[in-house]
């Protein structure tokens, strides 16, 4: 292990977090980290359960004096969004995350960090490992596939995949292969940062293609943009054929639209680029004109971004959708949308819109996951305890906020009648991007706050 974080406090929290960064844990590849958690429990002679989906539950008895306090579930998800910069050499299936400390922040190096949700696991492991922390009975629940299939709480969600069939034609001779690239965007978490007005490379590419399709004769052979539906897309690439005489016109239009996008996104994504470069590729087949037109229409028509704002909580996004992935595979183009809403009927409405777009263009809609909302509980005893502890610690009222993101609490509350829940964590920034980082001092503050709450649990 690198031991980059060895001098930070709370020591055990950062030690366990760094251990997690050495273990591959992309969504769908959690076997190693799940087994690590099982080994952790067995080494400490704690009761442990590992199910077929690789979820892990570790149980720790109550500390003396807390036997009658309510059992506390500490929950976090094992998996992380695995994103990297295009020119970064990193294999998430085997390479450890390379950590850096800059002032009060911990970063990875040109990849996502996995603080979402590794820091939650690290907190739980530190409590399970402790000998002197007062606490009720603990059930630590570590879940899999949160980032890809089950998200869902503060805002319920649906992963909706549009499937557009491709009609292929043989490529004409005498044409030049080129790559059109939209990039330079910040990206970000498609829930928490959907309100920041950041550009989506898939949508920008759709606009650009729609503007040039009648000015240059382009034959597309593939389109790919984004890796995860819950990340705002940073890059989109189109590989195509074009005549030599149209190449200069295409490059000129790219420069023109780059300036347009830079102006539109000057406050959020001023580094956006559109580049057209010759491609050393042997292209044998291309989309038919009809398939290309349907693709462009789909990119333009699919809803994206904020769909509605809450009228009850100021500044809270109520509903949104993110066209996170566009992928050419076999004889289909897949366009994967992450739909979120804290209102079930609005989530259904957005899904219906996506379905209408798909079916009107000869495609179909496939629902890959659908998870429930976590509704606000006005009578939460857990929230009152957290508020009281905060006021006693800091001498001021805690600010309770809602976020537009998915959490497992909605799923758990739906299955466990009477369950009370609250979500907390340190300050994490640029989640789901290679710029992801989190605060050292905030991590320490949240740790001390959590321990204080656990200490007061026997008052409930």
Per-residue buried b or exposed e for 444-455, using 16+ beta carbons within 10 Å of the residue's own CB: bebbebbbebbb
How many Å apart are CA 202 and CA 66, to the nearest integer?
A: 53
Residue 392 inside a domain? The answer is yes
Q: State residue 277's pLDDT score.
A: 95
Instruction: Give the confidence band of 155 by pLDDT, cuts at 50, 70, 90.
Output: low
Q: State residue 399's pLDDT score.
A: 85
Residue 309 inside a domain? The answer is yes
Instruction: Give the confidence band of 149 by pLDDT, cuts at 50, 70, 90.
Output: low
Residue 128 inside a domain? The answer is yes
The model's pLDDT over 424-457, given as tens digits with 9 standing for 90+, comes to: 999 999 988 899 999 999 999 999 999 999 999 9
Chosen domain end from 354, 371, 388: 371
Is the same domain home to 356 and 384? no
Q: Among all chains, which residue has been given the structure tokens 């007005």?
A: 197
Q: How many domains does the chain have?
A: 2
Segment 121-135 shows an average pLDDT of: 97
Cβ neighbours around 161 below 10 Å, total? 21
Q: Check: pTM over 0.75? Answer yes or no.
A: no
Q: State residue 432's pLDDT score.
A: 86
Q: State residue 87's pLDDT score.
A: 85
Is the same domain home to 166 and 315? yes
Q: Which domain holds residue 106?
A: 11-153+379-459
Segment 85-93 shows an average pLDDT of: 90
Is the same domain home to 395 and 248? no
The answer to whether residue 152 scores a pLDDT higher than 80 is no
Average pLDDT in the chain: 92
How many Å apart are CA 99 and CA 436, to the nearest integer?
A: 11
Say which range, 242-256, 283-297, 309-323, has the weakest mean pLDDT: 309-323
Would you say 365 and 162 are in contact if contact means Cβ atoms under 8 Å apart?
Answer: yes
Say which range, 92-96, 131-135, 414-418, has the weakest mean pLDDT: 414-418
Top-confidence range, 142-151, 190-199, 297-306: 297-306
Would you say 390 and 170 are in contact if contact means Cβ atoms under 8 Å apart?
Answer: no
Query: What share of the chain in percent tops pLDDT 70?
Result: 97
Segment 325-332 shows an average pLDDT of: 97
Per-residue buried b or exposed e for 314-334, using 16+ beta carbons within 10 Å of the residue's own CB: eebbbbbbbbbbbbbeeebbb
Query: What share of the chain in percent tops pLDDT 90?
Result: 78
Is the same domain home to 38 and 113? yes
**CATH number, position 231:** 3.30.70.360
Would you say 145 and 212 are in contact if contact means Cβ atoms under 8 Å apart?
Answer: no
Is the same domain home to 340 and 366? yes
Is the same domain home to 308 and 438? no
Using alpha carbons, select from 273, 295, 82 the residue that is nearest to residue 179: 273
Measured over the CA atoms of residue 204, residue 206, residue 207 and residue 208, the dihedral's sign is positive
Would you say 35 and 142 are in contact if contact means Cβ atoms under 8 Å apart?
Answer: no
Chosen domain end from 371, 388, 416: 371
Is the same domain home to 57 and 175? no
The answer to whether residue 228 scores a pLDDT higher than 90 is no
Pairing of β 236-242 and β 218-225: antiparallel
The answer to whether residue 174 scores a pLDDT higher than 80 is yes
Is the same domain home to 339 and 288? yes
Give bridge partners of residue 169 from the DSSP assignment: 286
Residue 1 inside a domain? The answer is no
The model's pLDDT over 358-372, given as tens digits with 9 standing for 90+, comes to: 999 999 999 987 877
Is the same domain home to 78 and 199? no
Is residue 395 packed enough to be buried (19+ CB in 10 Å), middle (13-18) or exposed (0-12)? exposed
Is the same domain home to 19 and 78? yes
Is residue 39 packed enough to be buried (19+ CB in 10 Å), middle (13-18) or exposed (0-12)? exposed
Chosen domain end from 310, 338, 371: 371
Q: State residue 147's pLDDT score.
A: 62
Instruction: Give the confidence band of 92 by pLDDT, cuts at 50, 70, 90.
Output: very high
Is the same domain home to 396 and 332? no
How many Å apart are CA 198 and CA 269, to the nearest integer?
A: 6
Segment 274-287 shows an average pLDDT of: 94
Residue 169 inside a domain? The answer is yes
Would you say 229 and 338 are in contact if contact means Cβ atoms under 8 Å apart?
Answer: yes
Residue 272 inside a domain? The answer is yes
Q: State residue 1's pLDDT score.
A: 67
Using alpha carbons, select from 83, 3, 64, 77 the residue that is nearest to residue 37: 77
Q: State residue 411's pLDDT score.
A: 76
**CATH number, position 73:** 3.40.630.10
Is the same domain home to 194 and 313? yes
The answer to whether residue 276 scores a pLDDT higher than 60 is yes
The answer to whether residue 48 scores a pLDDT higher than 90 is yes
Residue 343 inside a domain? The answer is yes
Residue 6 inside a domain? The answer is no
Query: Which helix (H) or strand (E) covers residue 319, if one does?
Result: strand 317-329
What order do you get walking across the sheet with 428-429 strand by strand?
100-102, 105-107, 437-439, 428-429
């Amino acid at each position: 292990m690198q031991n980059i974080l060895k001098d930070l406090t709370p020591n055990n929290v950062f030690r366990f977090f760094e251990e997690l960064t050495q273990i591959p844990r992309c969504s769908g590849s959690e076997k190693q980290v799940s087994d690590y958690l099982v080994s952790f429990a067995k080494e400490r002679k704690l009761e442990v359960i590992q199910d077929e989906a690789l979820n892990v539950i570790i149980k720790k008895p109550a500390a003396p004096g807390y036997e009658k306090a309510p059992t506390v579930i500490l929950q976090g998800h094992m998996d992380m969004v695995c994103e990297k910069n295009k020119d970064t050499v990193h294999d998430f299936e085997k390479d450890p995350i390379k950590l850096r400390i800059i002032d009060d922040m911990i970063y990875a190096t040109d990849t996502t960090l996995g603080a979402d949700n590794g820091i939650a696991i690290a907190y739980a492991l530190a409590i399970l490992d402790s000998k002197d922390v007062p606490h009720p009975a603990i059930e630590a629940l570590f879940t899999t596939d949160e980032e890809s299939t089950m998200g869902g709480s503060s805002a319920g969600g649906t992963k909706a995949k549009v499937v557009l069939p491709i009609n292929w034609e043989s490529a004409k001779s005498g044409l030049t292969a080129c790559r059109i690239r939209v990039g330079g965007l910040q990206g970000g978490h498609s829930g928490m940062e959907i309100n920041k007005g950041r550009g989506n490379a898939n949508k920008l590419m759709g606009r650009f293609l729609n503007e040039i399709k009648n000015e240059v004769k382009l034959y597309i052979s593939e389109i790919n943009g984004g890796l995860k539906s819950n990340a705002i897309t940073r890059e989109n690439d189109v590989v195509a054929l074009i005549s030599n005489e149209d190449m200069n016109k295409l490059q000129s239009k790219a420069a023109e639209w780059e300036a347009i996008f830079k102006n539109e996104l000057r406050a959020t994504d001023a580094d956006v680029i559109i580049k057209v470069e010759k491609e050393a590729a042997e292209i044998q087949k291309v989309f038919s004109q009809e398939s290309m037109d349907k693709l462009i229409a789909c990119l333009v028509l699919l809803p994206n971004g904020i769909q509605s704002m809450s009228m009850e909580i100021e500044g809270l996004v109520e509903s949104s959708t993110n066209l996170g992935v566009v992928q050419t595979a076999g004889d289909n183009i897949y366009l994967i949308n992450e739909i979120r809403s804290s209102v079930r009927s609005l989530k259904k409405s957005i899904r219906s819109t996506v379905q209408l777009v798909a079916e009107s263009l000869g495609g179909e809609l496939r629902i890959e996951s659908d998870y429930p909302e976590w509704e606000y509980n006005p009578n939460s005893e857990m929230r009152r305890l957290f508020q009281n502890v905060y006021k006693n610690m800091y001498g001021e009222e805690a600010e309770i906020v809602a976020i537009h993101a998915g959490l497992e609490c909605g799923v758990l509350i739906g299955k466990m009648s009477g369950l009370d829940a609250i979500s907390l964590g340190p300050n994490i920034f640029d989640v789901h991007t290679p710029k992801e980082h989190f605060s050292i001092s905030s991590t320490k503050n949240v740790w001390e706050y959590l321990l204080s709450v656990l200490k007061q649990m026997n008052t409930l």
